């Protein structure tokens, strides 16, 4: 069945299609490893090992096992930040799937980048301050010189052997990963680019961990999204990268699109620096804008990968937004889950990783279950995806939504490429 | 889809060590070097810096704004520059307003204070008042809240080239009909942890033209041209990434080859290793007189150079190099009134 098309979709050559996805999450070094474990509801939470948390309130996080990078010597590998160790494999896998890496692959010199992070290699910044305060004089440049996010982007270019074109690094807090993908689509729609390597990455760092800890935004219990007794988030880390290109570029290259990023909406909530407006109106604006651009009505949205941090403020706001977007009549039929319950909140990577899950859901009809939630908020209870849900056939679209510190809100809507052929 | 460029410039603002206002960029009084003491234990040395006079009336008013009471200096700089750019405009007539902001270091003062507090007093003493202000987009969030912006708002991170990406973002939003006008902003605050890092990088040792870190903000209000548009952003270079000095030289040549060789250059040398590269890459072009140095405030400096070229004594088409310290080379072509 063909869905109605919003005017921007009438430029079929510039349609933003996804032709490659790479993912590193606490559940696996690839999307192929992560996805079945996510569907089984496996849990990546465990004690924090990457830095000392003995003085912190919380002690748990969802850590990644760093993927091997056989092409690099151990010495070269040791020069990469943890953030780069997550970003690089995700980007490599996305480019490989899109047919853009390898002996016969076309050059990707000049490819635009639209990439999100909130902290870059903050761990090295922490180390720099610690050592300067201790009076250290040597060995400082190796770390501080490669702490800023643009240095991970340079690591990426060196490791994969290309020179990027325009580089947009988005630091819009926890909505940033979705913003990066949406911006990539905007670059394609507007003619500013033909192909974009996009996504987000985040490594666990002590500063950020302690920040959420001291705000009491992270939980000493489990992360229970949309639960009446929710008490906070689980910190996580990871990366997801995508090749996004115009439909005409994919056609020229003979590459089969995996999905279409059909709609993107974003908005700003001025209510408070760290708390969303309780009525969720900024998220509703982002969702309506994105759905409209995708040519979708709320009833067409078959699955929403929710932000669902399990903080008291966020989840209440999000439920209010879903009630407004779907309407009380439709909401019980909507299917929603927050995968942060098992992979944690990956901050600048969250919007990208969760977009990868939304695309997988669209492609397979399998929906990630809502784990850890015991007593759901009544208004959303019927919408939460139960474990063991049979494959949903004929999903017409899926969405991924994110909210962030500072009032950033973003919504992405995906549709099958077959809708446009 | 409409063409991305040109964009019409309809407002501007600046906060710099010379003062609050674009006019201070054009004819700055002699700046006083403010020594910033080293963070190292027992150190007696200090680094030269140019600081924004935060006691100036335009900035003091923002410390009384409820949303900004706990905010770091960079938020104050940003709001002030944005407010200047909007001055004289009927806010409703501007329609849907977006904000694209570039940062190089973000909010280092609160980040350093937060983590130094942890190191000195333990993890349990981490400050919930400081942490939210350490996030890259917190100054943007404050600015959006103060100005009542509820639409598009991005915090872009990078070296000076992020200023060009912010401009590109504005053009994309306008072409996509996401907004009607865009505030393109850049801001930088100084903190000793950054200055120590610049020292470690050897930046204070370079060049006869001394490197003096600075802080401040720049703002441009842009829209799609409506009728006569005396000041315009005419074109952006495709940004060229580099990985080392040789790569930066190549990137500079490649980047500037996109522009008419007869275009005069507004020089932007700031006492860094990039000065020689800019000089070589623009050697065959006519040059406008360089403005007095306000120090190196990275993305904010890129904004100041753009404002000087747009509002300075020169007229006609001008090329502004935007050579980034550690990531990419770019440039803007402007039309000054």
Q: Are A410 and A182 in contact (CB under 8 A)?
A: yes
Cα A373 from Cα B101, distance rounded (Å): 38
Closest CA in chain B for residue A144: B197
Cα B218 from Cα A222, distance rounded (Å): 45
Reference A384, options A370, A372, A373; nearest CA is A370
Q: Answer whether A133 touches B (CB < 8 Å).
A: yes
Residues of A in contact with B178 (CB under 8 A): 186
SS (H, E, C) chain B: CCCCCCEEEEEEEEEECCEECHHHHHCCCCCCCEEEECCCCCCCCEEEEECCCCCCHHHHHHHCCHHHCCCCHHHHHHHHHHHHHHCCCCHHHHCCEEEEEEECCCCHHHHHHHHHHHHHHCHHHCCCCCHHHHCCCHHHHHHHHHHCCCCCEEEEECCCHHHHHHHHHHHHHHHCCCCCEEEEEEEECCCHHHHHHHHHCCHHHCCCCCCCEECEEEEEEEECCCCCCCCEEEEECCCEECCCHHHHHHHHHHHHCCCCCCCCECCCCCCCCHHHHHHHHCCCCCECCCCCCCCECCHHHHHHHHHHHHHCCCCEEEEEEEECCCCEEEEEEEEEC
Cα B270 from Cα A317, distance rounded (Å): 47
Which residue among A149, A211, A404 places its CB closest to the CB of B131? A211
Mean pLDDT along residues B258-267: 94
- Strand A238-246 versus strand A16-24 pairing type: antiparallel
- The nearest CA of chain A is from the CA of B10 a distance in Å of 23
Closest CA in chain A for residue B157: A169
Report the complex ipTM: 0.97
Q: Is the pLDDT of residue A2 over 80?
A: no
Q: Is the pLDDT of residue A403 over 90?
A: yes
Cα A271 from Cα A46, distance rounded (Å): 34
Residue A5's pLDDT is: 40
Q: Are A377 and A359 in contact (CB under 8 A)?
A: no
DSSP three-state, residue A298: helix
Is the torsion defined by CA of A91, A97, A102, A108 positive or negative?
negative
CB contact (8 A) between residue A153 and residue B168: no
Residue A114's pLDDT is: 98
Which residue among A11, A191, A215 places its CB closest to the CB of B131? A215
Q: Is the pLDDT of residue A16 over 60?
A: yes
Mean pLDDT along residues A250-256: 97
CB contact (8 A) between residue B169 and residue A183: yes
- HSE-CB at B26 with a 13 A cutoff on CA atoms is 13
Mean pLDDT along residues B219-228: 94
Mean pLDDT along residues B117-136: 96
CB contact (8 A) between residue A144 and residue B168: no
Residues of B in contact with A274 (CB under 8 A): 132
Closest CA in chain A for residue B125: A214
Residues of A in contact with B140 (CB under 8 A): 406
Percent of all residues in chain A with a pLDDT value above 90, rounded to a whole number? 90
* Span A277-332, pLDDT tens digits: 999 999 999 999 999 999 999 999 999 999 999 999 999 999 999 999 999 999 99
Q: Answer whether A144 touches B (CB < 8 Å).
A: yes
Query: Phi, psi (5° rounding) for residue A28?
Result: 170, 160
Token pair recorded at residue B77: 């700089």
Q: Answer whether A7 touches B (CB < 8 Å).
A: no
CB contact (8 A) between residue A150 and residue B156: no
Q: Answer whether A275 touches B (CB < 8 Å).
A: no
First to last CA, chain B: 28
Q: Answer whether A41 touches B (CB < 8 Å).
A: no
CB contact (8 A) between residue B141 and residue A216: no
Percent of all residues in chain B with a pLDDT value above 70, rounded to a whole number? 99
CB contact (8 A) between residue A268 and residue B141: yes
Cα A117 from Cα A349, distance rounded (Å): 6
Cα B311 from Cα B231, distance rounded (Å): 8
Token pair recorded at residue B166: 């912010």
Residue B207's pLDDT is: 65
Distances (CA, A) of B37 to B44, B47, B155, B202: 7, 6, 30, 17
CB contact (8 A) between residue B158 and residue A125: no
CB contact (8 A) between residue A215 and residue B42: no
* Span A100-144, pLDDT tens digits: 998 889 999 999 999 999 999 999 999 999 999 999 999 999 889
Q: Answer whether A417 touches B (CB < 8 Å).
A: no
Q: Are B142 and B75 in contact (CB under 8 A)?
A: yes
Residues of A in contact with B161 (CB under 8 A): 167
Count CB pairs under 8 A between chains A and B. 222
Residue A10's pLDDT is: 56
Question: Burial level of B69, CB count in 10 A (0-12/13-18/19+)?
Answer: exposed
Q: Answer whether B72 touches A (CB < 8 Å).
A: no
Question: Burial level of A254, CB count in 10 A (0-12/13-18/19+)?
Answer: exposed
Residues of A in contact with B153 (CB under 8 A): 172, 268, 407-408
Residues of B in contact with A216 (CB under 8 A): 128
The arrangement of strands across the sheet holding A235-236 comes to A45-47, A60-62, A235-236
Q: Are A38 and A357 in contact (CB under 8 A)?
A: yes
Radius of gyration of chain B (CA): 19
Buried b (16+ CB within 10 A) or exposed e, B297-310: bbbbbbbbbbbbbb
Reference A148, options A173, A123, A130; nearest CA is A123
DSSP per-residue codes, A228-251:
TT---B-EE-EEEEEEEEEHHHHH
Cα B78 from Cα B73, distance rounded (Å): 9
Mean pLDDT along residues A234-261: 98
Mean pLDDT along residues B251-273: 92
- The nearest CA of chain B is from the CA of A149 a distance in Å of 7
**A28: DSSP letter:** B
Cα A289 from Cα A286, distance rounded (Å): 5
Question: Burial level of A27, CB count in 10 A (0-12/13-18/19+)?
Answer: buried
CB contact (8 A) between residue A169 and residue B41: no
Token pair recorded at residue A291: 């759905």
* Span A329-344, pLDDT tens digits: 999 999 999 999 999 9
* Span A274-288, pLDDT tens digits: 899 999 999 999 999
Q: Answer whether B117 touches A (CB < 8 Å).
A: no
Mean pLDDT along residues A146-162: 94
* Span B40-92, pLDDT tens digits: 999 999 999 999 998 888 999 999 999 999 999 999 999 999 999 999 999 99
CB contact (8 A) between residue A179 and residue B154: yes
Determine which of A241-245, B120-124, B185-189, B225-229 has the lowest per-residue pLDDT on average.
B225-229
Percent of all residues in chain A with a pLDDT value above 70, rounded to a whole number? 98
Mean residue pLDDT across chain A: 95
Cα B166 from Cα B157, distance rounded (Å): 9
A7: pLDDT confidence band, cut at 50, 70 and 90? very low
Chosen from B1, B116, B134, B153 to mutate, greatest number of chain A CBs within 10 A = B153
Instruction: Kindly list the catalytic residues of A.
Output: 174, 307, 345
- The nearest CA of chain A is from the CA of B58 a distance in Å of 23
Cα B260 from Cα A153, distance rounded (Å): 30
- HSE-CB at A136 with a 13 A cutoff on CA atoms is 16
Token pair recorded at residue A97: 């799937």
Residue A1's pLDDT is: 34
Q: Is the pLDDT of residue A188 over 80?
A: yes
Residues of A in contact with B150 (CB under 8 A): 267-270, 282, 285
Which residue among A14, A169, A406 places its CB closest to the CB of B137? A406
Other beta carbons within 10 Å of B321? 27
CB contact (8 A) between residue B152 and residue A266: yes
**Sequence-distant (≥ 6) Cβ neighbours of residue A332 within 8 angstroms:** A382, A383
A308: left (phi over 0), alpha (psi -120 to 50) or beta: left
Residue appearing with tokens 């924090």 = A48
A348: pLDDT confidence band, cut at 50, 70 and 90? very high
First to last CA, chain A: 12
CB contact (8 A) between residue B123 and residue A150: no
**Sequence-distant (≥ 6) Cβ neighbours of residue B217 within 8 angstroms:** B13, B14, B15, B74, B77, B78, B80, B81, B185, B186, B187, B188, B300, B303
Q: Is the pLDDT of residue A90 over 70?
A: yes
**A339: DSSP letter:** T
Higher-pLDDT residue of B291 and A129 is A129
Q: Is the pLDDT of residue A359 over 70?
A: yes
Token pair recorded at residue A238: 């990871």
Residue B214's pLDDT is: 97
Determine which of A8-12, A21-25, A39-43, B45-49 has the lowest per-residue pLDDT on average.
A8-12
Closest CA in chain B for residue A166: B239
Cα B288 from Cα B234, distance rounded (Å): 18
Cα A124 from Cα A142, distance rounded (Å): 9
Closest CA in chain A for residue B202: A141
Residue A73's pLDDT is: 87
What pairs with residue B182 in β-bridges?
Answer: B98, B222
Token pair recorded at residue A412: 């992405």
- The nearest CA of chain B is from the CA of A34 a distance in Å of 29
Residues of A in contact with B131 (CB under 8 A): 210-212, 214-215
Higher-pLDDT residue of B102 and A73 is B102
Surface of B (172-201) touching A: CB under 8 A: 172-173, 175-176, 178, 193, 196-197, 200-201
Q: Is the pLDDT of residue A48 over 70?
A: yes
Mean pLDDT along residues B299-320: 94
Residue B29's pLDDT is: 83
Q: Answer whether A270 touches B (CB < 8 Å).
A: yes
Mean pLDDT along residues B216-243: 93
Residue B206's pLDDT is: 61
Residue A9's pLDDT is: 52
Which residue among B126, B136, B153 places its CB closest to the CB of A210? B126
CB contact (8 A) between residue A170 and residue B150: no
Token pair recorded at residue B329: 């080379």
CB contact (8 A) between residue A171 and residue B103: yes
Cα B170 from Cα B172, distance rounded (Å): 5
Token pair recorded at residue A167: 């580089």
């Amino acid at each position: 069945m063909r869905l109605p098309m919003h005017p921007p979709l009438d430029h079929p050559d510039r349609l933003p299609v996804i032709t490659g996805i790479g993912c590193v999450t606490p559940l696996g070094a690839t999307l192929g490893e992560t996805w079945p474990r996510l569907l089984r509801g496996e849990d990546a939470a465990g004690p924090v090992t990457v830095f000392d948390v003995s003085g912190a309130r919380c002690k748990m996080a969802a850590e990644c096992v760093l993927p091997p990078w056989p092409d690099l010597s151990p010495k070269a590998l040791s020069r990469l930040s943890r953030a780069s160790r997550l970003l690089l494999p995700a980007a490599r896998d996305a480019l490989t799937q899109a047919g853009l890496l390898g002996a016969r692959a076309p050059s990707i010199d000049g490819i635009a980048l639209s990439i999100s992070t909130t902290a870059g290699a903050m761990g090295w910044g922490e180390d720099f301050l610690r050592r300067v305060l201790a009076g250290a004089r040597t060995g400082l440049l190796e770390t501080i010189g490669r702490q800023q996010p643009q240095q991970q982007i340079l690591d990426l270019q060196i490791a994969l052997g290309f020179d990027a074109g325009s580089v947009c690094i988005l630091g819009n807090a926890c909505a940033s990963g979705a913003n990066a993908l949406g911006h990539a689509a905007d670059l394609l729609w507007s003619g500013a680019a033909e192909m974009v390597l996009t996504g987000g990455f985040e490594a666990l760092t002590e500063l950020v961990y302690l920040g959420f800890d001291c705000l009491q935004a992270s939980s000493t219990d489990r992360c229970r999204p949309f639960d009446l007794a929710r008490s906070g988030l689980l910190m996580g880390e990871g990366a997801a990268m995508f090749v996004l290109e115009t439909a005409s570029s994919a056609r020229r290259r003979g590459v089969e699109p995996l999905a279409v990023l059909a709609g993107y909406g974003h908005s700003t909530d001025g209510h408070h620096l760290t708390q969303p407006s309780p009525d969720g109106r900024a998220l509703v604006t982002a969702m309506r804008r994105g759905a409209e651009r995708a040519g979708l009505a709320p009833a067409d949205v078959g699955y929403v990968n929710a932000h669902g941090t399990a903080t008291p403020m966020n989840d209440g706001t999000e439920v209010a937004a879903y009630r407004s977007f779907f309407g009380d009549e439709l909401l019980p039929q909507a299917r929603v889950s927050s995968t942060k319950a098992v992979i944690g909140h990956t901050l600048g990577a969250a919007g990208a990783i969760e977009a990868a899950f939304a695309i997988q859901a669209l492609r397979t009809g399998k929906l990630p279950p809502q784990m850890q939630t015991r007593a759901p908020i009544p208004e959303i209870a019927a919408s939460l995806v139960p474990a063991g849900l049979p494959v949903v056939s004929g999903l017409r679209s899926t969405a991924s939504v994110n909210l962030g510190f500072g009032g950033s809100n973003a919504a992405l809507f995906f549709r099958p490429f077959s809708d446009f052929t | 889809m409409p063409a991305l460029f040109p964009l019409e410039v309809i407002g501007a603002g600046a906060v710099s060590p010379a003062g609050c206002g674009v006019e201070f960029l054009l004819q700055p009084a002699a700046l006083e070097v403010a020594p910033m003491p080293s963070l190292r234990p027992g150190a007696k040395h200090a680094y030269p810096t140019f600081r924004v006079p935060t006691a100036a009336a335009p900035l003091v008013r923002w410390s009384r704004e409820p949303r900004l009471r706990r905010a770091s200096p960079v938020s104050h700089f940003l709001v002030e520059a944005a407010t200047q750019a909007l001055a004289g405009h009927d806010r409703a007539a501007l329609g849907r307003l977006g904000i694209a902001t570039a940062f190089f270091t973000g909010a280092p003062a609160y980040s350093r204070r937060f983590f130094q507090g942890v190191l000195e007093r333990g993890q349990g003493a981490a400050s919930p008042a400081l942490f939210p202000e350490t996030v890259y987009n917190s100054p943007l969030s404050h600015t959006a809240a103060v100005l009542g912006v509820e639409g598009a708002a991005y915090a872009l991170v990078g070296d000076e080239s992020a200023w060009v990406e912010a401009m590109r973002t504005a053009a994309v939003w306008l072409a996509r009909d996401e907004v009607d006008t865009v505030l393109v902003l850049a801001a930088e605050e100084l903190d000793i942890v950054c200055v120590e890092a610049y020292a470690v990088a050897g930046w204070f040792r370079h060049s006869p033209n001394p490197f003096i870190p600075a802080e401040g903000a720049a703002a441009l209000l842009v829209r799609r041209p409506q009728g006569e548009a005396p000041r315009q952003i005419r074109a952006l270079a495709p940004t060229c990434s580099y990985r080392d000095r040789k790569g930066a030289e190549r990137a500079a040549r490649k980047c500037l080859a996109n522009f008419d060789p007869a275009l005069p250059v507004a020089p932007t040398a700031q006492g860094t290793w990039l000065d020689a590269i800019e000089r070589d890459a623009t050697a065959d072009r006519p040059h406008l007189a360089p403005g007095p140095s306000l120090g190196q405030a990275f993305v904010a400096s890129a904004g100041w150079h753009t404002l000087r070229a747009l509002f300075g004594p020169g007229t006609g088409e001008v090329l502004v190099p935007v050579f980034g310290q550690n990531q990419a080379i770019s440039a803007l072509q402007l039309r000054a009134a």
